[in-house]
Each structure stands twice: as C-alpha cells, then as structure tokens.
Amino acid sequence: MPVIPSLLLLQAPARLISLGSVDIAIIAIYFVTVLLIGFYLKGQSGTGEDFFLAGREMTAWIAGLSFLSANLGSLELMGWAAASYQYGILATHWYWIGAIPAMLFLGLVMMPFYYISKTHSVPGYLQLRFGEPSRALSAVSFAFMTVLMSGINMYSMALVMKVVLGWDINFSIWVSSLTVAVYVALGGLRSAIFNEVLQFVLIWLGALLIPILGLIEAGGWDGLQKRIAQNFAAQDYTHLWRTFGSFSDNPMGIHWTGIVLGLGWVISFGYWTTDFLVVQRVLAARDLRSAKMAPVIGAGFKMLVPFIVILPGLLGLGVLPMKLTGEGAAVASGGHSYNEVLPLMLARYCGPGLLGLGITALIAGFMSGMAGNVSAFATVWTYDIYRAFMNKDAGDAHYVGMGRWCTIVGVLVSIGAAYLVMQFQSIMDYVQALFSFFIAPLFGTVLLGMLWKRATPAGGFWGLLAGTVSSIGMWAWVKADPSALRIIALSPDARDMAENMYRGLWSWIICVAVTCIVSMMTTPLPEKSLVGLVYGCTEIPAEGAIPLHHRPAFWAAIVIVVFFILNLYFW
Amino acid sequence: MSHGKEVISIWFFIGALLFIYGVLITGAGIYGLSHPPEAEVVLWNLHAAIWWGALLIVLGAIYLYLYAPFRRNRS
C-alpha cells in the first residue's frame, strides 16, 4: 500500500551518485524499450475490452507479477528502506501480515465475484450490487485520490533523482511521465501490464545485489544481527513481534492489536482487495482459475520483497560507518538522512554498469506505479463517471478514444498536482490520511456486498458514506485536539502510524454497522438479481479434474505456511 | 506466458533487454579490471559486475531462445 514520503523532505547537500557513460546507456536503453513495447502493442488495443482490460487474456503469471509490480513503486523501495533503517525489521509487517493474508483472500474468496460479474472496475461492481449512488461515491473519490497520489509520487521521484543524481526536477517529471503517457495511451492496460512485468524483473535484478553483497560483508544474518546490536544497543531492531506488548516499547508506538486488526485486517484487506489500481491487473486474467491464481503468485513474491527493501535498511544499520538521522538533523550537521539509505547502499556496492542497473530499477519502479495509476484512472473515469453520468449511449470506439485521451489528461493533471505539491508541501501531511479515509470503509461495503445477500443498496451507500465521514471526523478531532489520540488509538503514547491503523479499524466497524442496520430496515433485493454478485446466490464454476499443483488453493496453503514460518523465525 | 493475438512475447523483450544489459555490465566489469575506478566500491575484489553481468547474459539468452518469434511461428 502507498507509503509516503518523508522523502518529500529530502535535501542532501550534494548529489550522492555520479553516473558514467555505461550507466547512462543502460537507462536510455530502458526508455527506448518501454516505448517500443507501447508502439508494438498499439494495434492490439482497438476495443474497450482490449484497452481497459487487456482483452482479458493475461496468464496467471503475467497478471500476478503485474498485480505486484503496480504496487512496487520506487517510493515503496526508497520509503520502506528508510523506514527499516528507522524502525528496524518492524517495517516488514507491511509486506507480510499487511499484505499476504489479504492477497490470498482476494484470490480465493473475492476474485470469483469480481470476475464472474464481468465488471470493468471496483466501482462498477458496486453499481451492480448497490446501484449508482455507491458507484458515484466510490468512483469520484478513487479518481481524485489516484491523480493526486500520482502527482505526489511524481514529485517525490523527481526530488529523489535531483538529490541522488543531481538531475533537474522538471526534466525528471516531464521525461518519465510523458514516457508513461505515451506507452499507456498507445497500448492501454495491455501495454501497462507488459511493461510492469518488465519493470518487475528489472527491479529485482537491479536491487538484488545490495542484500547479497551486504550479507557477504556483514557475515550473514547472524553477523548482521551482532553488528546492529553493537551499533545500536538501546533498541531491538531485528525482531518482528516481541516488542509489540506495549505502545512505548517499540519505535513505531504501536500495540500488537493495532498491527493485527488495524494493519493486518482493515487497512491491508481494504487496499489489496478493493483498490482498483491493483485489482484491475487481476481482472485482466484470461479465465477464473488464472484470476484466482494471480494474487497467490503475487503473494508468493510479496513475501520475498523485504529481501530487497527491508534488508538494505538493516544492512545500513549494521555496516555503514556513519549514523543516519532525520532530515532536519542531517541538514543541520551536513550528514545523511535515513531517506538516503538505499542510494547510499547502492553507491557502496555497485560500480559502473551495476549503478546504472540499480538506478534503472528505481526509475522502473516509479513508472510501473504511475502506469498503474493512470490506467486505473482512465478506466474509472471512462466507465464509472463519463459513461455512467455524461454519455451513456456512445459506441465502443468512442469510449476507447476517451480512454486514450483520459490517459494523457490524467498524466497532465498528475504533473499539475506534482507542481502543486512542490509549492505547498504541507499537502502531503493530509494526503496519506485522505487516502485512508476511503479504503477502510470501502472494504466493509464490498465485503458485505459479496458475502451477505441481505445487504441492500441503501445499506451499502449509507454504510460507505458513514464510514468515510466518520474517518474524516476522527482525523479532524485529533487534529483539533491531540489529546483525543488516547481515545482513537487507545493510548497517549500512540504515534501517527498507530492512529492510522485504529482510525481505519473504527471507520470499518462503523461502515459495517450502518450497512447492517440500514439493510435490516430496508427491502432486500430479490435473489435472482444477485446472481453472479453474492455468495449463496452464485454458483462458482468448479475447477474440474486438474492436478493439485494447478489449484490456487494448494499454492495459497503453501504461501500461508511459509508466511507463518517466517513470522516465527523472526519473532 | 503469452496470448493469442501477440506475435512477440513480453518475455522475448525481457530476454533481449537482459542480454544487452549483461553485455554492457560485463564489459564495464572487465574494463574495470585494467582501469579500476579512483574510489573502489566495497567488495570490489569480488568483481560483482562481471559475474552479475554474466548471469544477465545467460538469463537473457535463455529467454531469447525460449520465446523467439521464429520458434512460435514454427510451432
């Protein structure tokens, strides 16, 4: 899920890395390749199904890797590497309990309903299940947030390039975003997905050398633990769960209930099962089995991502000769901040050529995240806003044309948002909270819609609205009166991270409660109108006599077993 | 890993890119043997660019072969 950016505060005194000619060549070849793929796929996006859902022809592997890659932006890499230097291995929770159960739930439980309903989008599912008002609320909030987040990511990435490489901010913003605009507008979701698979491979091959060489230098995991304990004796940075007994025992200021119920249940399930940015990739799968398998494949790789994101931050704690600090202290002392830990580790181990590959990985991460945003925005705008409320009766070619223009316009609006953030950086203080306002209640609405046939259109709409408004209300309450934190987050020692978790939990509970109460007071829909949308009214197609190793449930069981083993090993 | 309408698989593009990157990075690593940079990176003695570049060449060559358009056309 989006993490963001204390990176916006980056202001290193001098650039961290200098690139040679071979590094520049590697970056240039990458740009040429992604554009080539866009032009190559241009002829295969003539219909709405092709442009917005990649023809529903993607294999489980391509849909699964794209599903993960759309989330694996460069800010994810930089931001969580910095968080792991700051909070230690606790940051891993956002990759394991904060992702794996939700991804498996999406694949095994929710995907059949998304897929069988043949919806183009998550707001589209809400329209089928709860009617137009719920779709309108969800589509407008999603479109607004997607473009704003895209702009913020764009600006943050340009800032990273300026600090790390000395590149001009305007150059970074325009070149990278227009490249994304061209290849997505040309080839639609198919082009975005294919490039995301390419970017996934590059991110891994570009970032993987840091943990490999780092572990060699540190003497393996045991050696690294010893070094960190020597360098930072006062704090436990290498255990996942044992410091969560009290809010004040860990640097995140959070209790295990906040991690399990807030992050592991509401926030994680909300993001991974209802955020259309990621769900759209799975909707493009070629059949139901592939659609169920794609999130399971994504979950398998997601468990490995801490190896290239969290481990570099931990290695920074163990092997860097200097101590990294917060941005303010770094500027005052002329030193480095923990936001720079990933480029510092890259510069530590990677010489000419490898440096170019590492920077290409960062750029690829940025572009995959942005392509995800604009392709999802184009779909929701075209189908859930433009076609639903402005022009219902146009032909398929008209909507494809609208999707192409919408991609360009979405990128331009994102660029505008990037410059807005540049002028008013305090916007960032609010955006992370804004994003969370919509995710947790939406999960409550979609979950009840899929699993409870008694939920009515009025219940769905008022539940979603009540959850969103209550989330905004709780946030405003704490802003106006910080002492309210002890009520919202259950402790005066709680910090921002804990507040987000608990606010999400309460708003989800309010959404579910209001949906249930209003539904019981209103007339239920006839069961025949719920076929293909709700558990109990829908016959899920059997997988037939396929071998065990082709069954999504088999691989999901393996993933969950490995998930428990990892959590116990690093307990 | 590919689908009906597509002539060239995405894995072929990935193979081509990895192969080219492998050649460039291995080349840079070999050049570095005779012209070491002024500031050597940590674990320079392992010559990571050479073996990592070689790995990319091998991976790239495998994907190029498996997903080459002529193999798909023939099959």
> Taking residues A398-422, what's their average pLDDT?
88
Q: Which residues of B touch A55 (CB under 8 A)?
A: 3, 5
φ/ψ of residue A452, rounded to 5: -130, 105
Give the confidence band of B1 by pLDDT, cuts at 50, 70, 90: very low
> Is B69's Cβ below 8 Å from some Cβ in A?
no
Closest Cβ–Cβ partner in B5, B24, B46 for A25: B24
Q: How far is CA A445 from the centre of its chain?
A: 20
Question: Which are the contacts of A287, defined by CB distance < 8 A and separation ≥ 6?
Answer: none
Tokens linked to A220: 């393996």
Is residue A426 exposed (0-12), middle (13-18) or buried (19+ Cβ within 10 Å)? exposed
Give the confidence band of A469 by pLDDT, cuts at 50, 70, 90: very high
**Of B2, B3, B59, B67, which to mutate for an interface test with A (greatest number of A Cβ within 10 Å)?**
B3
Is residue A356 exposed (0-12), middle (13-18) or buried (19+ Cβ within 10 Å)? buried
Check the CA dihedral A332-A338-A339-A345 and report its sign. Answer: positive
Query: With contact defined as beta carbons under 8 Å apart, do A120 and A390 qualify?
Result: no
- Across chain A, what does the average pLDDT equal? 86
Amino acid at A284: A
> Taking residues A100-123, what's their average pLDDT?
89
Distance between terminal CA atoms of chain A? 23
> Taking residues A287-301, what's their average pLDDT?
93
Q: Is there a contact between B41 and A349 if contact means CB atoms under 8 Å apart? A: yes
Give the whole-angstrom CA distance, residue A13 versus residue A11. Answer: 6
Closest Cβ–Cβ partner in B3, B29, B43 for A353: B29
Give the whole-angstrom CA distance, residue A205 versus residue A192. Answer: 20
How high is the pLDDT of residue A432?
Answer: 62
Percent with pLDDT over 90 in chain A: 32
> Taking residues A273-291, what's their average pLDDT?
86
Tokens linked to B49: 């660019």
Q: Is there a contact between A62 and B10 if contact means CB atoms under 8 Å apart? A: yes
Check the CA dihedral A189-A192-A195-A200 and report its sign. Answer: negative
Residue A9 has pLDDT above 60, yes or no: no
How high is the pLDDT of residue A300?
Answer: 94
Amino acid at A164: V
Output helix, strand, coil percentages for chain B, rounded to the nearest 5.
Answer: 70, 0, 30
Q: Is there a contact between B21 and A26 if contact means CB atoms under 8 Å apart? A: yes
> Is B39's Cβ below 8 Å from some Cβ in A?
no
How high is the pLDDT of residue A491?
Answer: 79
Query: With contact defined as beta carbons under 8 Å apart, do A285 and A298 qualify?
Result: no
Question: Which are the contacts of A528, defined by CB distance < 8 A and separation ≥ 6?
Answer: none
Report which of residues A338 and B57 the model is more confident about.
B57
Q: Which residues of B touch A209 (CB under 8 A)?
A: 48, 52
Q: Is there a contact between A194 and B37 if contact means CB atoms under 8 Å apart? A: no
Q: Is there a contact between B48 and A30 if contact means CB atoms under 8 Å apart? A: no
Nearest to A120 by CA among A370, A376, A404: A376
Query: With contact defined as beta carbons under 8 Å apart, do A256 and A241 qualify?
Result: yes
Closest Cβ–Cβ partner in A61, A202, A213 for B48: A213
Nearest to A435 by CA among A96, A47, A150: A150
Residue B74 has pLDDT above 90, yes or no: no
Angle between helices A21-40 and A354-379 (to 10 degrees): 30
Q: How far is CA A438 from the centre of its chain?
A: 14
> Taking residues A239-267, what's their average pLDDT?
81
Q: Which residue of A has its CA nearest to B43?
A: A349
Give the whole-angstrom CA distance, residue A135 versus residue A140. Answer: 8
**DSSP symbol at A525:** P
* Residues of chain B numbered 16-35 and touching chain A (CB < 8 Å): 16-18, 20-21, 24-29, 31-32
Query: With contact defined as beta carbons under 8 Å apart, do A342 and A74 qualify?
Result: no
Q: How far is A44 from chain B (nearest CA, A)?
A: 8
Q: Which residue of B has its CA nearest to A58?
A: B3
* Residues of chain A numbered 217-276 and touching chain B (CB < 8 Å): 217
> Is B47's Cβ below 8 Å from some Cβ in A?
no
Closest Cβ–Cβ partner in B16, B27, B32 for A351: B32
Give the whole-angstrom CA distance, residue A272 versus residue A468. Answer: 18
Other C-beta atoms lying within 10 Å of the C-beta of residue A389: 13
Tokens linked to A129: 């299940």
Strand partners, A337: A325
Amino acid at A12: A
> Look-up: residue for tokens 């240039």?
A28
Q: Is there a contact between A59 and B52 if contact means CB atoms under 8 Å apart? A: no
Query: With contact defined as beta carbons under 8 Å apart, do A445 and A459 qualify?
Result: no
**DSSP symbol at A143:** H
Q: Is there a contact between A352 and B28 if contact means CB atoms under 8 Å apart? A: yes
* Residues of chain A numbered 303-362 and touching chain B (CB < 8 Å): 347-354, 356-357
Minimum mean pLDDT among A98-107, A310-319, A424-433: which range?
Answer: A424-433
Is residue B28 exposed (0-12), middle (13-18) or buried (19+ Cβ within 10 Å)? buried
Closest Cβ–Cβ partner in A61, A205, A350 for B41: A350
Minimum mean pLDDT among A133-142, A196-205, A368-377, A385-394: which range?
Answer: A368-377
Q: How far is A109 from chain B (nearest CA, A)?
A: 25
Domains contained in chain A, CATH given: 6-239+272-426 (1.20.1730.10)
> Is B49's Cβ below 8 Å from some Cβ in A?
yes
Nearest to A73 by CA among A178, A198, A194, A196: A196
Give the whole-angstrom CA distance, residue A311 versus residue A45. Answer: 40
Give the confidence band of A74 by pLDDT, cuts at 50, 70, 90: low
Report which of residues A77 and B9 the model is more confident about.
B9
Angle at A275 between CA A552 and CA A200, to 5 degrees: 65
Closest Cβ–Cβ partner in B4, B17, B56 for A33: B17
> Look-up: residue for tokens 């709780």?
A474
φ/ψ of residue A54, rounded to 5: 50, 35
Query: With contact defined as beta carbons under 8 Å apart, do A86 and A329 qualify?
Result: no
Other C-beta atoms lying within 10 Å of the C-beta of residue A571: 9
Residue B34 has pLDDT above 70, yes or no: yes
> Is B3's Cβ below 8 Å from some Cβ in A?
yes
Amino acid at A54: A
Residue B2 has pLDDT above 70, yes or no: no
Q: Which long-range contacts (CB under 8 A, 24 or more apart) does A156-160 make?
A: A156/A4, A156/A5, A156/A7, A156/A8, A156/A75, A157/A74, A157/A75, A157/A362, A157/A366, A158/A418, A159/A7, A159/A8, A159/A10, A160/A7, A160/A10, A160/A74, A160/A75, A160/A78, A160/A343, A160/A362
State pLDDT tens for residues A510-559: 999 999 999 999 999 998 888 888 888 888 787 778 888 889 999 999 99
Q: Which residues of B touch A216 (CB under 8 A)?
A: 43, 46
Closest Cβ–Cβ partner in B31, B42, B53 for A217: B42
Q: Is there a contact between B5 and A213 if contact means CB atoms under 8 Å apart? A: no
Q: How far is A280 from chain B (nearest CA, A)?
A: 18
A449 to each of A211, A457, A464, A516, B45, how far by Cα in Å?
43, 9, 11, 11, 60
State pLDDT tens for residues A336-373: 878 788 888 888 888 889 989 988 888 888 887 788 88
Q: How far is A26 from chain B (nearest CA, A)?
A: 7
State pLDDT tens for residues A414-459: 888 888 877 765 565 566 677 678 888 999 999 999 999 999 999 9
Q: How far is B71 from chain A (nearest CA, A)?
A: 19
How high is the pLDDT of residue A38?
Answer: 87
| CB–CB contacts below 8 A, A to B | 98
Percent with pLDDT over 70 in chain A: 95
Residue B70 has pLDDT above 80, yes or no: no
How high is the pLDDT of residue A426?
Answer: 59
Query: With contact defined as beta carbons under 8 Å apart, do A368 and A195 qualify?
Result: yes
Residue B53 has pLDDT above 90, yes or no: yes
Q: Which residue of B has its CA nearest to A44?
A: B5
- Total number of residues shown for chain B: 75
How high is the pLDDT of residue B4?
Answer: 47
Strand partners, A325: A337
Q: Is there a contact between B53 and A205 if contact means CB atoms under 8 Å apart? A: no
Nearest to A284 by CA among A67, A501, A479, A480: A67
Q: Which residues of A touch B53 (CB under 8 A)?
A: 353
Query: With contact defined as beta carbons under 8 Å apart, do A181 and A408 qualify?
Result: yes
